[in-house]
Amino acid sequence: MPPEAVTRFAPSPTGPLHLGHAYAAMVAAERAGAGRFLLRIEDIDQSRCRPQWEAQIYHDLEWLGLRWEVPVMRQSARGSAYRAGLDQLAALGLLYPCCCTRADIRAALSAPQEGAPLGPDGLTYPGTCRMRPMSEAGPNDALRLNMGAALAHVGALEFIENGPIHPGRHALDRDWLRDVAGDVVLARRDMGTSYHLSVVLDDAAQDITEVTRGADLFDATPIHVLLQALLQLPTPSYYHHTLIRDDTGKRLAKRDDARAIARYREEGLRPEALRQRLTLSAGT
Ligand code: GLU
């Protein structure tokens, strides 16, 4: 990586950091090289985030030997940036309010067609509310991106993947975005934003040059690259790392507290030993 590389680790403080997080943080710091390694607290879901978990994130990362710049960006302080991003997309006529529940979506998708497509956010939205104008948006509505209209706004797009699993240049598959990813939610009713919107705006605000994260988020990347183009933001390169597996080869669950870094620390494991173990179990 060039010396000016800027990378980030972006955990959500919804529980203890586990081995998978430790590996993600290590990869981000390593990819920064002589550049900048930033931390971002992804706490938009205030119903699940707790200050004690945020405090433990700092503690665990320090114990692992990582250092980052302060102040740390926290998503809970970025509401106005998210609203500005939504306003920009709404001005382009690309958003619409949606009051469908998950059950509504399932019902709309059941028969006649079988095997409804499954995008990165779950079942592909069938478009029930697509014709609703933004002037109707109320407190019980989420805001969705009209994917067809969004694609008509941009030309061919691509991103560069530097990670071990899908290395190379990836042209965005417009059919997949329209038919599988579909009209993704950009503002959830309960939080006024979404993972996709926040991550795109925050990476740009932090001048991230390479996004490092787990391979489970590879499929979300085309959505992010499209949003960057719509919001006239630069597209960073990406590095999706392999996911840590347990001794039987099973992917570690995000919320497997038995694998919490704090447990290893309490058991007296040295941080160097944990780092070495992670490097070994991450083999592609
Ligand atoms: N906050 C996300 C997580 O904890 C990471 C998102 C990202 O790196 O883009 O899985």
For the stretch 53-65, pLDDT in tens is 999 999 999 999 9
* Best residue for ligand 1 mutational test, from 195, 213, 238, 241 (most atoms within 8 Å of Cβ): 213
More reliable by pLDDT, 113 or 196 = 196
Look at residue 253 in the predicted model and tell me its pLDDT.
61
What pTM was estimated for this model as a whole? 0.94
For the CA of 11, the nearest atom of ligand 1:
4
Span 18-38, mean pLDDT? 95
Q: Which of 8, 12, 18, 227 to mutate to test the pocket of ligand 1 (most atoms within 8 A of CB)?
A: 12
> Which pLDDT belongs to residue 255?
59
CA 131 to ligand 1 center in whole angstroms: 32
Q: Reduce the secondary structure of the chain to three states and give it as a string.
A: CCCCCEEEECCCCCCCCEHHHHHHHHHHHHHHCCCEEEEEECCCCCCCCCHHHHHHHHHHHHHCCCCCCCCCEEHHHCHHHHHHHHHHHHHCCCEEEECCCHHHHHHHHCCCCCCCCEECCEECCCCCCCCCCHHHCCCCCEEEECHHHHHHCCCCCEEEECCCCCCEEEECCHHHHHHHHCCCEEECCCCCCCHHHHHHHHHHHCCCCEEEEEHHHHHHHHHHHHHHHHCCCCCCEEEEECCCECCCCCECCCCCHHHEHHHHHHCCCCHHHHHHHHHHHCCC
Token code pair at residue 101: 């529940």
pLDDT, residue 220, reads 98
What's the confidence (pLDDT) of residue 278? 87
The yes or no reply on domain 1-77+244-284 and CATH 3.40.50.620 is yes
Chain segment 174-212, per-residue pLDDT in tens: 999 999 999 999 999 989 999 999 999 999 999 999 999
For the cut 60, the answer to whether the pLDDT of residue 112 exceeds it is: no
Q: Ligand 1 centroid vs 233 CA: distance in angstroms?
A: 19
- In the chain, residues under CATH classification 3.40.50.620 are 1-77+244-284, 78-229
Strands 168-171 and 95-98: unpaired
pLDDT class for 283, splitting at 50, 70, 90? low
Instruction: Mention every residue, 6+ apart, whose C-beta is less than 8 A from residue 14.
Output: 45, 48, 49, 50, 53
The CA-CA-CA angle for residues 273, 10, 210, to 5°, reads: 90
Q: Hey, what are 45's tokens?
A: 């879901």
Q: Class of 78-229 per CATH?
A: alpha beta
Backbone phi, psi, residue 39, to 5°? -115, 145
Instruction: With a cut of 60, say whether residue 124 has pLDDT above it.
Output: yes
